[in-house]
C-alpha cells in the first residue's frame, strides 16, 4: 500500500517486460566507445566535465561519510565519468558499468540515466522501482542538464547509493547542483562568445570585474566589484593589484607566470561585517599574441554557499530536535579515540538511552504527537549536560550522551541518575498527559584501545540489560553482559536452524462455547523443541525472532502447519473446529500476506471458514492499510479476530468498519474479575460493544469456575483457558478429546 510509482517508471518497466527482459538476470550495457572515441568525447566535453566535476565534488564533500557514486553521462547516455565511493564503483564495474558504456532501456532496462535524459525534471528510482531485481538494494537520483539559453540537452548527473541511505534531501541537493551547473555552463558559454569588452559589460554585469595592465596596475574596477570588496573605484584604479590581500598573489602568478585560475573560493567580510563568498577567476589578456594585462572576475555565491552550509549542518544534526545526530557523535568519538591512541588518554564515556514504551505513545497519540514528545524529551535531557558533554539523537527514540574530560567515574553515574529524575514527571503533548521512563546503558572507555564499534556494542548491550531488568534504570557495562549477548547470538543461530530442521511444533488450546459446552475451536500456539535445551516457550524466543526478522518465516510456518493439522482432524472424523493463528506485526504488514493465505488454503484444501487470523489493536492503527488487507482476507472466507482487546487503542469508528468476527478479551481483565469490580464493568462493556457490532466474544486466561460463572452471566460467547485445558500437542489433543469433553461438562455442573 505504498505510494504509487510515477507513470514513466511503470511505462519503462512494461516496455522491458514486452521485450522479454528477465528481471532476475543482470542487465549490462551492450555498446561501448573505443578508448580513442572516449578520449575524443571527453575532450569535446572537457569544459562541461570540469564544471560538472567541480560541483559533484562539492556535493561529495558535503555528504562525506555517505557511500554514494556520482555518474555523469552525455546527451546520448554514454557514461563519461564516475566519482565517489570506490567500493560502489568496483561493484558496478563488474556489471559493465564503466566509462564509455552506453545506457539504453533496450539494453539495461529501467535505469536512472535513460529516465533522467527523457524527463524534464529530477527523478528518483529506488528499490523495486527498478525492473531488474539485482538493483533492488540501490537508490538512484538523477537529473539532466542543459544549455538553458537554447534548451540544448547536454547530459545527466545521477547519484547511486545503498537503499538504506535513501533520503528525499538528496533529490533537493541534486537539483541545486544541476541548477549551479547550468548557470555556470551558461556563463562560460556567454563569456566565450563575447569579446573582452562585451564580456565585461561593466555597468550591467552582476559579476565583479577587475582588469590590470601588463605590469599589474589596475585599469578597470566595476561597480559590482566595489560592492563586493568594500573598495571604491577611485581608491583602486592606478594601484598595483599585487597589494591586494585578497587577490594580489593570484594576479601576480597570472601576470608573471602565466597561471590561470578558475572557481577559486574566496571568503571575506563586507562593510556590515557579513561574510561574503565568491568564486574568483583570473587569466592573462593577449592582443595579437602580446600580453597586455590580466582579467579577473568575482561571482557572488554567498546564498548558494549558505544553502550548502545548511545542508552540511543537516548532515550532522537531527532535523526534528536540532541535536547532533549519529554521524556527528561517531565523528566526535572517533576523534577522541584517535587522541587516546596518541597517549593523551582523556577520559570519556557514553550513556546510551532508549525510551521505554515509546511505541505506545506513537500508536496511541499518532506520529505527529510522537515527534512533539521527542522534542520535549530532548529539552529535558539538555538539562543534564555538563560543560564538556554532548547530547545526540541516534534516531527513533534513542539518544546518547558523550561525557568528556571528567575527573571521576562518579560523574558518569551522577549524570545517569540525573537523567532518570527527568522522567519522574509526566509529559504533556497537545493536552495529553502521560508518563514514560528511560533505560540507560553506560560504557566507560577502558584503559586500553578498543575500536568505536566495539565500544558502542558495550553501551548497547548494557542498555538492553537495563530494559530486561524492568526498565527505568541504568546498567554499567561489564564483560559478563557481553557474554550474555553472545549467548543470545548463539540462540539466534539455533533459531535459524530450528526452522530448517523442523524443530518448531504447535500446541493447541481448546476454545469452548459457553452455551453448548462444546469445543468449537482451538488456538495454535508455537513451541520450540530444542535438541539440547528441551521445549522452549514463545516468551523465550519470539522477541528474538522479531528482532532478527525471522518472525515472518515462523508465522508463515504456523499458518501452514495449523491448516494442515485442522484438515487432518476433519478427515479423521473429529468434528470440524475453527483454528486460530496469531499474526505478527511484521507478517501483517508484509505485502504478500493475502496471496500467501490464499495459496495455503488451496494447498491444504481447508475450508476458509475454519481459519481465524488474530491481529492486535496496535497492528490496525494504519486504517487505510488495515481496512484493505482485512477486506481482502475476508473475501477469501477466513475469520478475523482482534486479540488482547482492551490493552491497546482502538478507534470505535475504525472498529465498526473493520470486517471482524471476534473480539478476544485480554486475560489481564479476566484474571482479577472476581476481585475487581472495575474489571467486571470493563468486560461487560466489551461484550455489549461486541454484540452491538454483531461480533462474538472470546475470553482468554479463564482459570477458575468463578471467572466462568461471571463471564457466563454477561453472555460471553466462548471461553479459553487452563480451567478447561492447557495447550496440548496434536496427538495429545486427539487421544484425550472424549475425556476432555466430559471434564468440561463436569466443570459446568460444579457448584
> Under a CB-based contact definition with an 8 Å cutoff, are residues 186 and 145 in contact?
no
List, in sequence order, the alpha helices (H) in 45-111.
Answer: 46-62, 86-94, 105-108
Helix axes 302-315, 168-193, angle to 10 degrees: 160
CATH topology of domain 317-477: Alpha-Beta Plaits (3.30.70)
Question: What's the pLDDT score for residue 624?
Answer: 79
Alpha-carbon distance values, 324 to 319, 480, 709 (Å): 9, 31, 59
Question: What's the pLDDT score for residue 14?
Answer: 94
Show the CA angle centred on residue 238, arms to residues 237 and 239, nearest 5°.
Answer: 95
| φ and ψ at residue 452, rounded to 5 degrees | -60, -45
Domain boundaries, the chain: 7-194, 205-305, 317-477, 501-749
| φ and ψ at residue 437, rounded to 5 degrees | -130, 180
Which residues of the chain are under the pLDDT cut of 70? 1-3, 191-206, 309, 312, 341-346, 363-364, 479-489, 620-622, 646-654, 751
**pTM, two decimal places:** 0.43
CATH topology of domain 7-194: Beta-Lactamase (3.30.450)
Q: Is-same-fold flag (7-194; 205-305)?
A: yes
Question: What's the pLDDT score for residue 200?
Answer: 45
Question: What's the pLDDT score for residue 195?
Answer: 46
**Residue among 296, 284, 219 nearest 255 (CA):** 284
Question: What's the pLDDT score for residue 9?
Answer: 93
DSSP letters for 613-682: EEEETGGG-SHHHHHHHHHHHHHHT-EEEEEEETSS---HHHHHHS---EEEE-HHHHHTTTT-HHHHHH
Architecture of domain 501-749: Alpha-Beta Barrel (3.20)
Could you say which of 3.30.70.100, 3.40.50.300, 3.30.450.20, 1.10.3720.10 is the CATH number of the domain covering 205-305? Answer: 3.30.450.20
427-429 and 398-404 beta bridge pairing: unpaired
List, in sequence order, the alpha helices (H) in 321-451.
Answer: 326-341, 358-365, 367-382, 410-421
Amino acid at each position: 500500500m505504498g505510494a504509487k510509482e510515477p507513470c514513466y517508471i511503470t511505462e519503462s518497466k512494461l516496455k522491458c517486460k514486452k521485450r522479454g527482459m528477465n528481471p532476475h538476470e543482470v542487465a549490462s550495457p551492450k555498446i561501448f566507445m573505443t578508448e580513442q572515441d572516449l578520449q575524443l568525447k571527453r575532450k569535446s566535453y572537457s569544459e562541461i566535465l570540469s564544471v560538472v566535476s567541480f560541483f559533484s565534488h562539492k556535493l561529495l564533500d558535503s555528504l562525506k561519510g555517505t557511500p554514494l557514486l556520482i555518474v555523469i553521462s552525455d546527451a546520448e547516455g554514454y557514461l563519461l565519468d564516475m566519482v565517489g565511493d570506490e567500493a560502489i564503483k568496483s561493484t558496478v564495474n563488474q556489471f559493465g558499468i564503466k566509462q564509455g558504456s552506453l545506457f539504453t532501456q533496450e539494453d539495461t532496462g529501467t535505469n536512472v540515466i535513460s529516465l533522467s535524459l527523457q524527463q524534464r525534471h529530477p527523478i528518483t528510482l529506488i528499490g523495486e522501482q527498478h525492473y531488474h531485481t539485482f538493483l533492488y538494494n540501490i537508490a538512484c537520483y538523477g537529473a539532466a542538464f542543459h544549455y538553458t539559453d537554447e534548451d540544448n540537452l547536454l547530459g545527466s548527473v545521477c547519484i547511486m547509493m545503498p537503499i538504506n541511505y535513501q533520503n528525499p534531501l538528496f533529490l533537493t541537493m541534486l537539483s541545486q547542483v544541476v541548477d549551479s551547473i547550468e548557470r555556470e555552463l551558461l556563463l562560460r558559454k556567454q563569456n566565450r562568445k563575447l569579446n573582452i569588452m562585451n564580456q565585461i559589460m561593466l555597468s550591467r554585469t552582476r559579476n565583479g570585474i577587475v582588469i590590470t595592465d601588463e605590469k599589474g596596475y589596475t585599469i578597470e574596477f566595476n561597480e559590482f566589484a566595489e560592492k563586493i570588496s568594500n573598495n571604491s573605484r577611485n581608491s583602486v584604479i592606478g594601484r598595483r593589484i599585487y597589494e591586494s590581500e585578497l587577490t594580489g598573489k593570484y594576479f601576480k602568478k597570472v601576470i608573471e607566470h602565466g597561471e590561470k585560475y578558475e572557481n577559486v573560493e574566496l571568503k571575506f567580510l563586507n562593510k556590515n561585517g557579513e561574510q561574503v563568498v565568491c568564486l574568483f577567476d583570473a587569466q592573462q589578456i593577449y592582443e595579437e599574441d602580446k600580453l597586455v594585462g590580466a582579467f579577473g572576475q568575482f561571482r557572488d555565491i554567498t546564498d548558494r554557499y549558505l544553502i550548502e552550509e545548511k545542508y552540511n549542518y543537516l548532515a550532522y544534526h537531527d532535523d526534528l530536535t536540532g541535536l547532533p545526530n549519529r554521524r556527528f557523535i561517531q565523528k566526535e568519538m572517533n576523534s577522541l579515540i584517535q587522541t587516546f591512541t596518541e597517549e593523551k588518554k582523556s577520559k570519556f564515556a557514553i550513556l546510551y538511552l532508549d525510551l521505554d514504551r515509546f511505541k505506545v505513545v506513537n500508536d496511541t497519540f499518532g506520529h505527529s504527537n510522537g515527534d512533539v514528545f521527542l522534542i520535549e524529551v530532548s529539552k529535558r535531557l539538555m538539562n543534564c549536560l555538563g560543560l564538556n558533554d554532548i547530547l545526540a539523537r541516534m534516531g527513533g527514540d534513542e539518544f546518547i550522551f558523550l561525557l568528556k574530560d571528567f575527573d571521576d567515574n562518579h560523574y558518569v553515574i551522577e549524570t545517569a541518575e540525573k537523567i532518570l529524575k527527568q522522567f519522574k514527571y509526566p509529559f504533556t503533548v497537545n493536552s495529553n498527559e502521560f508518563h514514560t521512563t528511560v533505560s540507560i546503558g553506560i560504557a566507560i572507555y577502558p584503559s586500553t584501545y578498543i575500536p568505536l564499534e566495539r565500544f558502542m556494542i558495550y553501551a548497547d548491550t548494557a542498555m538492553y540489560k537495563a530494559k530486561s531488568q524492568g526498565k527505568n534504570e541504568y546498567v554499567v557495562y561489564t564483560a559478563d553482559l557481553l557474554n550474555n549477548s553472545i549467548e543470545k547470538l548463539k540462540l539466534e543461530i539455533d533459531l535459524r536452524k530450528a526452522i530448517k530442521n523442523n524443530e518448531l511444533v504447535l500446541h493447541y488450546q481448546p476454545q469452548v462455547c459457553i452455551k453448548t459446552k462444546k469445543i468449537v475451536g482451538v488456538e495454535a500456539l508455537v513451541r520450540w523443541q530444542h535438541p539440547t535445551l528441551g521445549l522452549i516457550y514463545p516468551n523465550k524466543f519470539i522477541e528474538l525472532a522479531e528482532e532478527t526478522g525471522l518472525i515472518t518465516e515462523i508465522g508463515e510456518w504456523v499458518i501452514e502447519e495449523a491448516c494442515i493439522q485442522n484438515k487432518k482432524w476433519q478427515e479423521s472424523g473429529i468434528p470440524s473446529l475453527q483454528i486460530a493463528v496469531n499474526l505478527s506485526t511484521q507478517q501483517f504488514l508484509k505485502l504478500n500476506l493475502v496471496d500467501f493465505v490464499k495459496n495455503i488454503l488451496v494447498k491444504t484444501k481447508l475450508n476458509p471458514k475454519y481459519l481465524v487470523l488474530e491481529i492486535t489493536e496496535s497492528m490496525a492503527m494504519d486504517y487505510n492499510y488495515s481496512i484493505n488487507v482485512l477486506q481482502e482476507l475476508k473475501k477469501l472466507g477466513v475469520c478475523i479476530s482482534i486479540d488482547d482487546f482492551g490493552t491497546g487503542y482502538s478507534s470505535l469508528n475504525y472498529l465498526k468498519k473493520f470486517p471482524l468476527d471476534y473480539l478476544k478479551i485480554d486475560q489481564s481483565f479476566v484474571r482479577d474479575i472476581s476481585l475487581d469490580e472495575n474489571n467486571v464493568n470493563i468486560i461487560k462493556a466489551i461484550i455489549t460493544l461486541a454484540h452491538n457490532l454483531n461480533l462474538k466474544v472470546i475470553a482468554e486466561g479463564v482459570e477458575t469456575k468463578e471467572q466462568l460463572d461471571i463471564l457466563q452471566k454477561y453472555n460471553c460467547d466462548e471461553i479459553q483457558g487452563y480451567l478447561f485445558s492447557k495447550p496440548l500437542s496434536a496427538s495429545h489433543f486427539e487421544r484425550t478429546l472424549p475425556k476432555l469433553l466430559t471434564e468440561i461438562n463436569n466443570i459446568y455442573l460444579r457448584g
